[in-house]
Homo-oligomer: A and B are copies of this chain.
């Protein structure tokens, strides 16, 4: 056995155990009886302890010192193992434990504060989380940028300054597009009876159409849609809303985008460090291109309208162009997760700027609400009415996920790039989408992105797939063209 072999044997068991921990999380959100919550906390903590011990095992350092890669797969595995090992070793155990302890309590404090519309009740806890993450970021950054060190957990190699430039170019054109759309008439909403079983049956049909392999996955209901697992056991959840079938259908398609990435990684990489999506941003590019560029295209929407007539009967809309506007409805709203394709990134961009300022210390936790409300009014044109519609709406900061938000918008930018490349590669794409045929598009994404897992870095993955360096321009061009046509701008 070479040092590389030793590393890979060790890594394989670690990956397998990480899958088990992930399945436990899935169970918690879908199957676990409510009275089991406290016991589950201990079970999950024990699993995390096992994983942490494995990831910081000092033998990894010895093996890494001796291991040599013989090909690009080996080099990528070493890169991922080194990255994980060095990050785990840089954070003192006491700090990691304190972060775990504080954030597990903080989520409850946040939920209560949100229910009570009481920002002040959350601020001391948030201040503690921010301080701990600053400390962790400093330990990881070794003198470099603290926020970058946190961001790196979700988006390896990304730099906040570069993202800031990119997002700076997005923001004014998105604000302008938003204003232009909202100055015109609103599209007709759906009407009708949307039986839950029929929603779920249609969402299964859509999942299959988008290539989700149900023999290696399953769809359950959960409060928040998510995707869990890798390789041959990749599960998604969805939710239903009797008044809004799009919630179920598009949540499912979004999660199927994530799931397809995990299911379609080369079987050669199964249970290895590169056998999964390479970053949150690239992951989000898959979920978003499935959900938006493909499933919200006017062509696919026309096909979907027919399937909805079959499933639900009268839905209040019979014209394809009206239906396309309905699935691309833009309206004023406070909530990021309920937002549309145009405004979504404006929600994310403000969180990115605010959390950077929190981590750098430029923004005091005490001033967060005011900063949030100012920025919201500037970008969205109306005032936040209450904290649950404002700075208390997202769980992320309470659980310490500073550095996560920008990956959502980066994913959208990547989806824009991939869509431009896909259209160039498949001139017949619109006709395929119009007949509900996703095979060409998902096959291209599988081949260009998904099967490679974490073989290449995130940006390199997108650049190799597209054949050009990623930028925000394709996303903006796409949004302006699509919404311009839909809304006669």
Binding site for B on A (CB under 8 A): 12-13, 16-17, 19-20, 23-24, 27, 31-36, 38-40, 42-43, 45-47, 49-50, 213-218, 231-233, 235, 270-271
Contacts and interface: CB of A to CB of B under 8 A. Distances in A.
Nearest to A16: B46
A47 B17 contact: yes
Contacts of A218: 31, 33
Contact of A46 (B13, B27, B33, B38): B13
Nearest to A39: B232
B271 A33 contact: no
Nearest to A38: B232
Nearest to A20: B43
A38 B233 CA distance: 10
B33 A24 contact: no
Contacts of A232: 33, 35-36, 38-39
Contacts of A17: 43, 46-47, 50
Contact of A214 (B33, B50, B215): B33
A33 to B, nearest CB: 5
Nearest to A214: B33
A231 B27 contact: no
A216 B36 contact: yes
Chain A interface SS verdict (over half): helix
A256 to B, nearest CB: 14
A209 B16 CA distance: 40
Nearest to A213: B35
A72 to B, nearest CB: 24
B24 A215 contact: no
A30 B237 CA distance: 17
A17 B48 CA distance: 10
Contacts of A231: 39
B43 A16 contact: yes
B270 A33 contact: no
A364 to B, nearest CB: 40
B24 A20 contact: yes
Nearest to A45: B16
Nearest to A49: B13
Given A13-B46, A16-B46, A33-B218, A233 B271 contact: no
Nearest to A12: B42
Contacts of A23: 24, 27, 43
A42 B271 contact: yes
A248 B231 CA distance: 35
B215 A39 contact: no
Nearest to A42: B16
A39 B27 contact: no
Closest 10 CB pairs between A and B? A36-B233, A16-B46, A35-B216, A35-B215, A39-B232, A13-B46, A16-B43, A36-B232, A16-B42, A17-B46
Contact of A216 (B12, B33, B42, B45): B33
A233 B39 contact: yes
A20 B27 CA distance: 11
A445 to B, nearest CB: 21
Nearest to A218: B33
Given A46-B16, A47-B17, A40 B215 contact: no
Contact of A233 (B12, B32, B47): B32
A20 B36 contact: no
Given A20-B47, A23-B27, A40-B233, 13 more contacts: A12-B42, A13-B49, A17-B50, A33-B215, A33-B218, A33-B232, A33-B233, A33-B235, A35-B233, A36-B232, A36-B233, A39-B271, A50-B50
A24 B16 CA distance: 12
Contacts of A16: 42-43, 45-46
A270 B233 contact: no
A269 to B, nearest CB: 12
A381 to B, nearest CB: 46
A231 B35 CA distance: 10
Contacts of A233: 32-33, 35-36, 39-40
